[in-house]
Amino acid sequence: MRVVVKIGGSLLQQAGAGESWIHEIQRFVQEEHQVAVVHGGGPAITESLSRAGVAVSFHQGQRITTSEVLGHVVQVLRGQVNAALIVQMSRAGIAAVGLSGVDGGMLQARRLDGPDLGHVGKVAEVNPALIQALWQANMVPVVAPLAMEQGGRGILNCNGDGVAAALAVGLQADLMVFFTERGGLRESPEPGAALVRQIAASDIAQWISSGRANAGMVPKLESARDALRHGVPTVLIGSYYDAFQGSTEFLAD
């Protein structure tokens, strides 16, 4: 099976939360599946900006990315979060290789329509050759969500969920799993809300417009829907192996 895994940035900051996602990746590798990992890093980027006294601002969940902010984004995602993940995965015996979407011409993006958010993009083209070459060598690529702006003009900051979905489609993955802090989609954003076991892709718009899903859950649901509609047969938020922890499964239209 070809598997694309997204590891949430907030999950990486939780003490002890490393365990469950790393065990799942180990198990995918042991069972000889081909795994590609995409990670986030929102909280670490915000920390770096605050330390430098740079204002943090968002528009509908997307970070407004001036040139100065982009410098922090690249440094934190590639230099800190990606590097720390490679260390953690290597210690667990996983042959992890750190990259970003800029490497090997993997991801090209265009700036978002609407208000000017600066160096923020959405993936427009995927070239899976580098990931396939690493799979051939039995390696696990770990991708920071950066992409080259179409025309080679420079780096764009992309949402990790969107990058994971684009890669899953480009690689014709059999499975996409989002590992995130809340373990799955909940009945509401409130703490303690129950896990939703299944959601139909056609219900996603309603979940978002009603506010039952907000903030970082919005790009996640939209990315899950994109992946399903472009042929990824199984999309989960939560655990693939752990029936007790459970997951939210997306049902195609």
Q: Which residues bind Mg ion (CB under 5 A)?
A: 216
The one-character DSSP state at 103 is G
Amino acid residing at 37: V
Helical (H) or strand (E) element with 156: strand 155-158
Nearest Cα to Cα of residue 20 among 198, 196, 197, 241: 241
8 near ligand ATP, rule: CB under 6 A: yes
128 near ligand ATP, rule: CB under 6 A: no
Cβ closest to ligand ATP, residue 115 vs residue 211:
211
Q: Indicate the SS3 state at residue 203.
A: helix
Partner interacting with residue 200 (select from Mg ion, ligand ATP, none; CB below 5-8 Å by kind): none
Nearest-angstrom CA–CA distance, 80 and 70: 14
Cβ closest to Mg ion, residue 42 vs residue 98:
42
Listed ranges 6-14, 23-31, 50-58, 135-143: which one lies at the site for ligand ATP (CB under 6 A): 6-14
Which residues neighbour 170 within 8 Å (Cβ) at sequence distance 6 or greater? 126, 127, 128
Minimum CB distance to ligand ATP, residue 247 (Å): 12
Helical (H) or strand (E) element with 11: helix 9-13
216 near ligand ATP, rule: CB under 6 A: yes
User: 186, 199, 227, 247: which one contacts ligand ATP (CB under 6 A)?
Assistant: 186
Binding site for ligand ATP (CB under 6 A): 8-11, 40-42, 160-161, 180-182, 185-186, 188-189, 212-217, 220
